[in-house]
Structure 1
Amino acid sequence: MTKGTAVELVPYDPDWPAAFQRIRGKLERLLAPHVVTIEHIGSTSIPGLAAKPLVDIDIILRHSDDVTPATQLLLDQNYEPRGNRYDDDVWAFMLRGGTPPERIYLCSPDNQTHQRRMIFRDHLRSHPEDMAAYSTLKQGLAEHYRHDGDRYTAEKRHFVDAIIEKALRASQG
């Protein structure tokens, strides 16, 4: 999202997991020789959590050399390139025409951004009190930064980092 783009949150839709499975199947067929795994990430992957109405997906590639051919395959299917915005070896793409829209991320192997997303998702799935706190934070930020998607995302960073640290401490002790 960018400044000027409305931040729209909707209640959790129990159809999101099935939508992910359908999209995953399509992406596996399209990108088969390049993919290690395809994961549902973001708020639509957490049951009960309000979210922007689009499915976020991380695609972990076999090798960093797979980024170029995988990118071309996505472009050929009308995915809009969004670049490597945070210089973290994660290339973003949007497909707006689907129901729901899709935001795809191509990730190099052992990508730390992907690993952090998985830790955060898995923690919120198994800790309803943290999921509820995140939901409250998101709702407040969506109201406050209704027309500034970048600021909405940036303002969640401290909470996300704290949850990841909490999850890592719990897994070590």
Structure 2
Amino acid sequence: MEKYGAGAIVVSAYDPDWPALFEQERARIQGALGGLALAIEHIGSTAVPGLPSKPIIDLLVGVPNLDEAQRRYVEPMIALGYIYMPEYQSWLPGELFFRKGPPGPWTHHVHVMELSHHRWQKLVLFRDYLRAHPEAARAYAAIKRELASASKDDIAAYRNGKTAFVEATTAQALAWGTMRSR
């Protein structure tokens, strides 16, 4: 069982400070990486106004080349207080994963991937879809709260429990994104 940080999984009420916390961290990462970061997006539940979430700011950093990023990003991210998690590559192929905070609970997660990676568009559209569809965000909130209660400190069970909803909603988001761009 993969344990969650320092205790039970907690889904907190939406905090209106989350966007500002993202902006602060985005500026720090941009400052450390400079032109190495082509784009930095706020993703995950803390990026959706009104959506309860684990209080972890998720950042998505777009790079031109993942191999180059692995050589050039790790040290600057460590200097910002992040821990590089190479063992997550089996779960998150094609990306580098970092987290920050005391040894749990974590305060920030950073996903680094090429802008052309298939997950980039899915992560951004999932966020945008939840922002534009409050009923989907409410359904997601209910699932997250139920899973947090049932999973206790088993983060893999929590993550896996969300999979069906996330996949179905991402499919809807992709169709919605296609219609929106016409």
- TM-score w.r.t. the length of structure 1 is 0.91
Partner residue of 1:96? 101
Distance in 2 (CA, whole Å) between partners of 1:172 and 1:43 is 22
Q: Does 1:68 align with 2:71?
A: yes
Aligned to 2:2: 2
Are the equivalent residues in 1 in contact too, given 2:125–2:177 (CA < 8 A)? no
The gaps in structure 1 that reach 5 residues or longer are none
Contact 1:34 1:63 in 2 (8 A): no
Is contact 1:67–1:108 with CA below 8 Å preserved after alignment? no
Letter paired with 1:46: V
Paired letter, 2:70: V
Aligned position for 2:168 = 162
Task: After superposing the two structures, state which structure 1 stretch, 39-48 or 69-78, moved more.
Answer: 69-78
Any idea what SS the aligned residue of 1:17 has?
Answer: helix
- Tell me whether 1:117 sits opposite 2:123 in the alignment: yes
Runs of at least 5 residues in structure 2 that lack an aligned partner in the other structure? none
Q: For residues 93-123 of structure 1, what are the alpha-carbon distances to aligned partners after superposition, in whole Å with 9 as ceiling and x for unaligned?
A: 11105xx821111112311222211111000
Quote the RMSD (CA, aligned, Å).
1.8
Structure-1 separation of matches of 2:4 and 2:16: 29
Q: TM-score, normalised by structure 2?
A: 0.87
- The percentage of counterpart residues that share the same residue type is 29
Is this contact kept in 2: 1:67–1:106, CA < 8 A?
no
Describe the shift of the 1:73–1:126 C-alpha distance in structure 2 as closer, same or farther (beyond 3 A).
same
